[in-house]
């Protein structure tokens, strides 16, 4: 993806998240000077299999495994406790981060009271959140009452901001019927403990990215979740609380949109989602369970089983449009190895009428009937394939059909979890 005229690349999920962005970023990071995570929080989970071991990352950009300089951008809501737990775990496994990992001083902090609010609200609303405090942190951010990394430069002032929020948070917890309450002293001690360790990592992230691009360096912007979980463009209200689409990359990294040269969308060769909300091409329970077991479809963050179904071309075409995708990375093609026939959702019908785009209303999307096209399976293990030309003809035909339906070229194909099982299409 990187080249003489391509210095800034965005990697986004083009379904409902969990598409395998981590391993694609890991491969691209080998050629990147700087990797920036631009939105989301500790609710994300990126799994990277280096061949020598598996790493599950939640807030630290996947590029850290390859030794790239990594930044947690201003669009991220940072859970500092789990961030340092993650960092310490990497250090124990020999991954060095000295002078390699930084955090935007404009990133908002997710604190214990945010998690209490998140869990209490989920008990009532059943949106399907992870309970990691992401939504309440973004609410504080956009309500102009949040606490940012840079605020820790004056711990007393930061403490005053947090204490003011705790009073309101505890009132809201009572209204939600929760017996839990946020503790002032716990928060004060947390801020005092975090400041000395977090502040040395704090930078003006947008300036760092801007100057790297001016020097002609390669910058990779890494998103979390997927396009259909975008707060504006996803299956609202069953979405996350940030802009997961490529438009959020410029804002969340602190650069202008004209700095972006390419956008790579990651899709599975089938479809999954975690939590509530419509999934038009969801397979019948027995088939969904088969896909789930073959693909190890359990959340990297929560361990929740993912709902599974067939590739939905309407979803991916929509993601191509709202992200401006210049290419696709298709992951987990090998999961379909044993199927003799593979349905692909090519369109929808709603109340008997054809529908070729995503409806905005979740109620309408929940009622659509998918229109399927059956493609022959290859019934051959792809685990040892290392070149596109060596794929079985049926597997190659399947990819060609997905590319035609999505209206975007396939740039990468993943046939397993390891780095050497990712094929670059040249």
Q: Which residues are catalytic?
A: 18, 46
Two tokens, residue 280: 């038009």
Cα gap 159→146, rounded to integer Å? 12
Helices 112-125 and 134-142: crossing angle, nearest 10°? Answer: 110
Tokens of 142: 């956009």
Residue 197 has a CB neighbour count (10 Å cut-off) of: 13
Helices marked H in 126-204? 134-142, 155-175, 184-198
> 303: which 2 tokens?
């361990």
Cα separation of 79 and 53, whole Å?
25
Q: Are strands 341-350 and 271-273 parallel, antiparallel or unpaired?
A: unpaired
SS3 for 54? strand
Helices (H), 254-309: 285-295
Cis peptide before 237 (omega within 30 of 0): yes
Q: Helices 313-323 and 393-406 sit at what angle, rounded to 10 degrees?
A: 50
Return the bridge partners of 354, or none.
349
**Cβ–Cβ under 8 Å, residues 127 and 238:** yes
Residues 6+ apart with CB under 8 A from 142: none
Token pair, residue 87, equals 């960092």
Is residue 78 within 8 Å of residue 102, measured between CB atoms? no
Name the 3-class secondary structure at 371: strand
Beta strands per DSSP E along 44-200: 46-49, 54-57, 69-72, 77-78, 101-104, 108-109
């Amino acid at each position: 993806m990187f080249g003489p005229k391509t210095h800034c690349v965005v990697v986004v999920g083009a379904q409902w998240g969990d598409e395998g962005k981590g391993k694609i970023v890991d491969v691209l990071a080998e050629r990147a000077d700087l990797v920036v995570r631009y939105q989301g929080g500790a609710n994300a989970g990126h799994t990277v299999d280096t061949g020598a071991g598996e790493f599950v990352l939640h807030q630290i950009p996947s590029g850290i495994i390859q030794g790239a300089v990594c930044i947690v951008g201003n669009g991220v809501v940072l859970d500092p406790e789990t961030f340092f737990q993650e960092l310490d775990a990497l250090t124990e496994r020999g991954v060095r981060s000295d002078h390699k990992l930084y955090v935007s001083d404009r990133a908002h902090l997710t604190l214990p009271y945010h998690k209490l609010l998140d869990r209490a609200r989920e008990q009532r609303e059943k949106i399907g959140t992870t309970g990691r405090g992401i939504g309440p942190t973004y609410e504080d951010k956009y309500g102009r009452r949040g606490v940012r990394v840079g605020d820790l430069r004056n711990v007393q002032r930061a403490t005053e901001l947090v204490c003011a929020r705790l009073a309101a948070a505890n009132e809201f917890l009572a209204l939600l019927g929760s017996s839990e309450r946020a503790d002032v002293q716990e928060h004060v001690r947390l801020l005092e403990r975090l400041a000395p360790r977090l502040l040395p990592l704090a930078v003006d992230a947008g300036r760092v990215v801007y100057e790297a691009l001016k020097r002609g360096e390669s910058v990779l912007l890494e998103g979390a979740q997927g396009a259909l979980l975008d707060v504006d463009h996803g299956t609202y209200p069953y979405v996350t609380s940030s802009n997961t689409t490529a438009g959020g990359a410029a804002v969340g990294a602190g650069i202008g949109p004209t700095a972006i040269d390419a956008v790579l969308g990651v899709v599975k060769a089938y479809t999954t989602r975690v939590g509530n909300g419509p999934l038009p091409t969801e397979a019948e329970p027995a088939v969904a369970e088969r896909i789930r077991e073959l693909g190890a479809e359990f959340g990297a963050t929560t361990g929740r089983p993912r709902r599974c179904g067939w590739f939905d071309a309407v979803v991916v075409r929509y993601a191509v449009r709202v992200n401006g995708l210049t290419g696709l990375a298709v992951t987990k093609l090998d999961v379909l190895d044993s199927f003799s026939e593979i349905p692909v959702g090519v369109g929808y019908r709603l109340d008997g009428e054809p529908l070729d785009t995503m409806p905005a209303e979740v109620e309408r999307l929940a009622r659509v009937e998918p229109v399927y096209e059956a493609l022959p399976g290859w019934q051959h293990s792809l685990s040892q394939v290392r070149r596109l030309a060596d794929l079985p003809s049926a597997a190659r035909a399947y990819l060609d059909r997905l590319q035609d339906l999505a209206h975007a070229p396939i740039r990468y194909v993943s046939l397993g979890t390891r780095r050497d099982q990712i094929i670059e299409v040249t």
